[in-house]
Structure 1
Amino acid sequence: MENAPMPATAQKIQDRAALDASIRQHAPMVRRIAQRLISRLPANVELDDLIQAGMIGLTEALSRSENPEGPQFEAFATQRIRGAMLDELRAGDWISRDARRQHRAAGVVAHKLEQQLGRTPLSSEVAREMGIGLDDYQDIMAQARTSQFVSLDEISSFDDEGENSPLEKQFADPEADPLRHVSDYRKHAALVRAIDTLPERERQALSLYYEHDMSLKDIGAVLGVTDSRVCHLHAQAFQRLRVKLRDW
């Protein structure tokens, strides 16, 4: 005797139970993606917020897939989860496009003046070259320090297998990025001294990336090199810094 069709309510309960089981099964993937993203985000972004957004993306992926198993589903779910997280970040409006533009412009001007003067330019010199007042320039830099700008385009630039871009792989590896180990004044002072000893091009690449929030493409344009060359400069700089800071 064939089973009679389940009442609609019972069917919904069964479907929901199956969905909940799949969500629990794939929840660790959401956390992994969130942890990978948050390592490049300002301190005011909460991991739990990313995870919550990612769970929505996971639920959407499960509802759109007939077979929520295997590498094909994982690749699809990764895209949906990461997309939901990035949508949440954009909706939060924690990045000011105008502030980002001004900050990058300041970086380009500062680099140009450094080449002309043979030294690090004064804030007043950069402001004058930009055609703005010193107070306005200081506001731009203060906002940059507070926000710790990060490009969403760079954050989302995973390769086809869900891994980070070459530069992000360096950042994701605690052993590869000595900047992660700076936790007190003495270590910071040692790092500053170590950076000052780097070759000029490597020092410039670090400065443009960390201090002026420039993308690899923008750094390459300023230095007159390719994106891959910028990655190479970063890698060389990190290697030198690891050696210099190995006792820390």
Structure 2
Amino acid sequence: MYTAKGTLNRDDQLKKYSPLVRRLAHHMIAKLPPSVEIDDLIQVGMIGLTEAIARYEPSQGVQFETFASQRIRGAMIDELRDGDWMSRGSRKSQKDIEQAVHRLQQKLHRVPKESEIAAEMGLSLPDYQALLAKVRGTQLVYLEDISGGGDDEENFLDRHMGDTEADPSSVLQDQRMRMALVEAIKTLPEREQHIMSMYYEHDMNLKEIAAVLGVTESRVCQLHSQSIARLRAKMREH
């Protein structure tokens, strides 16, 4: 495992821990838009692993796998940031919608209507629908949730991490989180429940869903974005 100089054998470690890179990449890709390629994450993850091997010092008292995991995930997150997979403006707009839904749910004690969300945001219904189409919400988890960045009050995943040393990238594997998500989906309007089911359970694209519902693809996109905002707002209550 070590060379004559007392450093880790690079080739042995790359071979041993490459499955770790793939595992971390698959955990992360599940929470990202379809435009992010798994092979790209694995590639940058391997670079992170190589850097971890070069920088690891046993005297620090940290197990190599723990040290490497941090480096690998850090490399992947840096790549996502550099690639700007979701623009800063779109992220803000999506969070603005989420927060408006959350405020209305607290005030009305029911699922708010589309027109009510628009009014809460000070927008006309057409302008609100145009915003939904623009943000194209495609994930339940933001990069800030995965990396631990962002405001604490908005980073709702933190509240589901019973063990403070737990890996944020695997939070959605937690049974409580899964149960809460299932219950949250049940609170969606019926049409939005159908869209979420077709998109995530049956792996249908927006065009196929639009054909089933008899609406335009852009309308499905709007409703999907709105569903994501509703779910995130609901999950913050748990």
The TM-score, its normalising length taken from structure 1, stands at 0.57
CA change 1:56–1:26 in 2 (3 A) is same
Higher alpha-carbon Rg = 1
Within a 5 Å distance, the mapping from 1:32-181 to structure 2 comes to 32-65=23-56, 72-113=63-104, 120-148=111-139, 150-157=141-148, 163-164=167-168, 167-170=171-174
**After superposition, what is the alpha-carbon deviation per residue over 1:166-207, rounded to whole angstroms, capped at 9, x for unaligned?**
84233799999768872279xxxxxxxxxxxxxxxxxxxxx9
Cα distance between partner residues in 2 of 1:116 and 1:65: 52
Cα distance between partner residues in 2 of 1:176 and 1:107: 17
How far did residue 76 of structure 1 move? Answer: 0.8
Flag structure 1 segments of 5+ consecutive residues without an equivalent. Answer: 1-17, 186-206, 221-229, 231-248
How far did residue 116 of structure 1 move? Answer: 5.2
| Greater mean alpha carbon deviation, residues 112-121 or residues 33-42 | 112-121
Structure with the larger RCO, 1 or 2 (CA within 8 Å, 6+ apart) = 2
AA in 1 matched with 2:101: A
Say if 1:42 and 1:148, in contact at 8 Å, map to a contact too: yes
Amino-acid identity (%): 43
| Greater mean alpha carbon deviation, residues 129-138 or residues 26-35 | 129-138
CA change 1:106–1:164 in 2 (3 A) is closer
Matched, 1:211 2:201: no
Two-structure CA RMSD over aligned residues (Å): 4.4
Equivalent residue number for residue 219 of structure 2: none
Cα distance between partner residues in 2 of 1:160 and 1:115: 28
For this pair of structures, how many residues does the alignment match?
Answer: 185
SS of 2:50's equivalent in the other structure is helix
Flag structure 2 segments of 5+ consecutive residues without an equivalent. Answer: 1-8, 149-160, 186-196, 205-224
AA in 1 matched with 2:119: R
